């Protein structure tokens, strides 16, 4: 599915790079530990997190993630938005917490597809 | 004759605004060389974690990427506090990170274990009060494609 469908279905607010919502999403990963995301996320995943600082952009770019969903209505820092624009990383905000966002994406058919280990 | 590509990147300690820049260059170079994405992914994890360690703990560091037909070699040397007990630092979950580093989602004690998991060869040397040298290799199958 495309990012646009997720934005519309979950009522997300797009904070950066709304011109890139045609990006294909192939999975999802939820975590607030950056090393964990480095190790376990896959290219094409949408990443659910509460972290709002600029280092999330490097992690998303290095892993070719489809976009970042910030939870609990958390606003990205200004430096984060600037870097997101430079790197073309889509940032979306949900008013809901991680559990609800992940549950809704799962209902839409997205899977993590990450085995143990 | 074996073609070898080598490039070095400076890493500034404490500067989280630039963290990931060296790893990003590593990714770009390896993709341009045309290596299989599974090799690139492993090397990028190694480079990123090693870079974050320098940013989190050291004064400054230098990452050197060397690519030959046989392997990707990533060596990171820093000037910094060193590691007192390398065996302990290799344990998943062990970390000496400060609170503010942890609040950013770093310092979970996964850095060195992540490097180890993605390396075919790993060597860490450290002297307390002087610095640390991390040397990791990803070995390439003939033709640059994983078997």
A64 to chain B, any CB pair closer than 8 A? The answer is: no
How many Å lie between the alpha carbon of A88 and the closest alpha carbon of chain B? 14
CB A27 within 8 A of CB A113: yes
Q: Print the SS3 string covering A93-111.
A: ECCCCHHHHHHHHHHCCCC
Q: Is the pLDDT of residue B1 over 60?
A: no
- Distance, in angstroms, between A79 CA and closest chain B CA? 8
Chain B residues touching A61 at Cβ < 8 A: 20, 24
- The mean per-residue pLDDT over the stretch A42-57 comes to 97
Chain B contact present for A93, CB below 8 A: no
pLDDT at B26 over 50: yes
Distance CA B138, CA A1 (A): 34
Label residue A1 by pLDDT band (50, 70, 90).
very high
Residue of B16, B27, B108 lying closest to A55 (CB–CB)? B16
pLDDT digits (tens, 9 = 90+) for B33-85: 999 999 999 999 999 999 999 999 999 999 999 999 999 999 999 999 999 99
Q: How confident is the model at residue B143 (pLDDT cuts 50, 70, 90)?
A: low
* Of the partner residues B44, B45, B110, the one whose CB lies closest to the CB of residue A33: B110
How large is the average pLDDT for residues A29-56? 96
pLDDT > 70 in chain B, percent: 96
Beta carbons of B17 and A54 less than 8 Å apart = yes
**Token digits of residue B32:** 């341009």
Residue A117's pLDDT is 36
> Which candidate in B11, B20, B21 is best for mutational testing of the A interface (most A CBs within 10 A)?
B20
pLDDT at A70 over 90: yes
Q: What is the pLDDT of residues B92-113, one digit of tens each?
A: 999 999 999 999 999 999 999 9
pLDDT of B2: 61
**For the CA atoms of chain B, what is the radius of gyration?**
15
Q: Which two tokens stand for residue B84?
A: 């007192």
Report which of residues A115 and B147 the model is more confident about.
B147
Is B147 a residue whose pLDDT tops 70? no
> Domain limits of chain A?
3-107
Is some CB atom of chain B closer than 8 A to the CB atom of A38?
yes
Nearest chain A Cα to B112, which residue? Answer: A35
Of the options 3.40.50.1240, 1.10.1040.10, 3.30.360.10, 3.30.565.10, the CATH number for the domain spanning B5-144: 3.30.565.10
Give the torsion through C-alpha atoms of B13, B52, A49, A20, to 10 deg: 90
Residue B91 clears pLDDT 80, i.e. is over it: yes
Residue A115: per-residue pLDDT: 46
| CATH among 3.40.1390.20, 3.20.20.80, 3.40.50.300, 3.20.20.150 for A3-107 | 3.40.1390.20
The partner residue sitting opposite A35, judged by closest CB among B19, B27, B49, is B49
pLDDT of B146 reads 76
The whole-number pLDDT of residue B142 equals 82
């Amino acid at each position: 599915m495309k990012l646009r469908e997720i934005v519309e279905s979950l009522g997300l607010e797009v904070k950066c790079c709304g011109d890139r919502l045609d990006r294909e999403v192939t999975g999802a990963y939820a975590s607030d530990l950056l090393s964990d995301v480095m190790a376990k996320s896959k290219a094409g995943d949408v990443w659910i997190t509460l972290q709002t600082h600029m280092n999330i952009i490097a992690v998303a770019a290095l892993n070719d993630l489809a976009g970042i969903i910030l939870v609990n209505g958390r606003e990205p820092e200004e430096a984060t938005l600037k870097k997101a624009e430079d790197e073309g990383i889509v940032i979306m905000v949900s008013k809901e917490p991680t559990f609800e966002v992940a549950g809704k994406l799962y209902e839409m058919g997205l899977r993590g597809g990450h085995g143990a280990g | 004759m074996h073609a070898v590509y080598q490039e070095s990147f400076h890493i500034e300690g404490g500067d989280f605004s630039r963290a990931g820049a060296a790893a990003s260059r590593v990714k770009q170079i390896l993709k341009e060389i045309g290596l299989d994405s599974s090799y690139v992914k492993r090397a990028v994890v190694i480079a990123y974690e090693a870079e974050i360690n320098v940013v989190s703990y050291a004064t400054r560091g230098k990452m050197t990427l060397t690519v030959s037909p046989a392997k990707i070699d990533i060596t990171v040397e820093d000037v910094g506090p060193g590691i007192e007990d390398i065996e302990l630092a290799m344990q998943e979950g062990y970390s000496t990170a400060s609170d503010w580093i942890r609040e950013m989602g770093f310092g979970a004690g996964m850095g060195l274990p992540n490097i180890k998991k993605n390396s075919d060869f790993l060597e860490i040397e450290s002297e307390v009060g002087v610095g640390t040298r991390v040397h990791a290799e990803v070995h390439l199958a003939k033709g640059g494609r994983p078997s």
